[in-house]
Amino acid sequence: MTYKPSSIVVVENTLLPRFGEIIEILVFNVKHCLFILQLYKTECFLHHYHAFEVTQSKQCLSCVPNLLVDYHPLTLYYLPSQKKVIPLKYHLIEDL
């Protein structure tokens, strides 16, 4: 998988998943790296767009890639109404 700054990743999967935007990737050696993430608050699921509406929070988090809920990088989109949304490529498995 290829990660880059501005990619969105899933860091938590509860009733509404929690997303983080990769701000920095710190590489220690060939096998070890660390993501610095800007967290987003998930507001709701928009069925029309099959996407989650999010707002940026002031929280940051560091995370190693193997602790992510899902390994697929996602993309943040802006709707004409200036809402930020993150569509999923498929349904996440929920352990509720």
Q: Is residue 49 part of a domain?
A: yes
Per-residue pLDDT of the chain (96 residues; tens, 9 = 90+): 889 999 999 999 888 999 999 999 999 987 899 999 999 999 999 988 889 999 999 999 999 999 998 889 999 999 988 899 999 877 665 543
Q: Is residue 92 part of a domain?
A: no
Q: Is residue 96 part of a domain?
A: no
Handedness of CA 14, 18, 45, 9 (dihedral sign): negative
Radius of gyration, alpha carbons of the chain:
13
Segments forming the whole domain that contains residue 64: 8-87
**Domain count along the chain:** 1
Q: What is the pTM of this model?
A: 0.87
31 near 8, Cβ under 8 Å? no
